[in-house]
Structures are given as C-alpha cells and as structure tokens.
Amino acid sequence: MFVHPDDDPRTDGGFQGERAVLVGYLRDQRLTLELKCAGLDAKALARRSVEPSNLSLLGLVRHLAGVEQYWFRQVMAGQDVRRHYRSEEDPTADFTGAVADPTVVADAWTTWRAEVAFAEHLVEQAPSLDVAGDSDGEPVELREVLVHMIEEYARHNGHADFLRERVDGRRGQ
C-alpha cells in the first residue's frame, strides 16, 4: 500500500451536486498520479515500461500537463499557446523527452502543477458547467471536458500502477 488510509489525501466521494462531483473526482485522480510518483528519483520516474514502449511515469506527468493545457487553456479559455512538450515535428515528445534528469523532472512537475492550477481556477470561475469552448470548430461544454479529464487520468493512472510496480514492486491505490 502506498499510503496508510488515515494519511490518504483523497476523498471517499460524498460530493454534493454536479460540479462538486466532477471537480472532486478529478482532484482525486490528480492526487492519485502524484501518489504513484511519490518518493521516486529522476531515474525511477524516467524508467520505461517494456520495449518498445516509451511509457514512463515522468512521461505520463508531461503528457497530462499537455492534456490539461489543451483542454483548459486552448479549448475552454481559447488561448493560443505553444504546447509544452509535443510538436508537429515530435508528437511523442511528452514521452521521448522524459529523461532521467532532475531538471527535466522538476520542469514536468512545475508545468503540470501550473496547468492544474489554471484549470482549477477556470472551473471555479465558470458561471456554470454549460459554458462551452471550441474544440476544432465544435462546441464542447465544460462538464464534458471534466468527464473527459477524469477518464484520461483514470486510464493513465492504470498505466501508472504497472509502471510503479515495475520500478519498485509497490502496488496499491
């Protein structure tokens, strides 16, 4: 087990109302990613799963920073920003650039936390979950983005389970 139940920062649900449910479950998924990476050095975070995959815990942090940026900054806020890691020239740079360098690790966490903070502020300030952004010319409501983000984290946290177990044998929530 990664953390004793008394020390687990995540909730057991019990949210009231649609916004609270979506925000609460997304927060818990984000915390799960942090727990999966807790206590690991740069080498362990950058460790690849199994050849030929380039999947690593650090790559997941970088990837999810980009997912947060895309859905909240670009789609919902309409900002025209350069992607953090990936580009047309290197669409997998989230993962290929996830190398065992403490500076790369620090940048990934700083970037991810900044994107999460932006997203949390945007959601908090939204007058309703009906607010829509533009995803390639198609309107998408904030509630759909939140559900998508929960799904995105849940899927990648499943990957993180296996990655963490490969690094040091730890299994758990």
Whole-model pTM: value is 0.92
Q: How many Cα neighbours within 13 Å face the side chain of 162? A: 10
- Domain total in the chain: 1
Contact in structure between 133 and 77 (CB atoms under 8 Å): yes
Q: Is residue 2 part of a domain?
A: no
Mind listing the pLDDT tens digit for each residue in 54-96?
Answer: 999 999 999 999 999 999 999 999 999 999 999 899 999 999 9
Q: Is residue 9 part of a domain?
A: no
pLDDT of residue 136: 92
Round to whole Å and give the CA distance between 145 and 133: 9
Q: Is residue 101 part of a domain?
A: yes
pLDDT of residue 173: 65
> Residue 52 — very low, low, confident or very high, per pLDDT cuts 50/70/90?
confident
Task: Give the CATH number for residue 148.
Answer: 1.20.120.450
* Tokens read off for 154: 């849940």
Q: Is residue 7 part of a domain?
A: no
Q: Is residue 36 part of a domain?
A: yes
Round to whole Å and give the CA distance between 72 and 119: 6
For 119, the domain range is 14-168
Round to whole Å and give the CA distance between 128 and 37: 33
Mind listing the pLDDT tens digit for each residue in 103-125?
Answer: 999 999 999 999 999 999 999 99
If DSSP states are collapsed to H, E and C, what string results for 109-155? HHHHHHHHHHHHHHHHHCCCCCCEEEECCEEEEHHHHHHHHHHHHHH
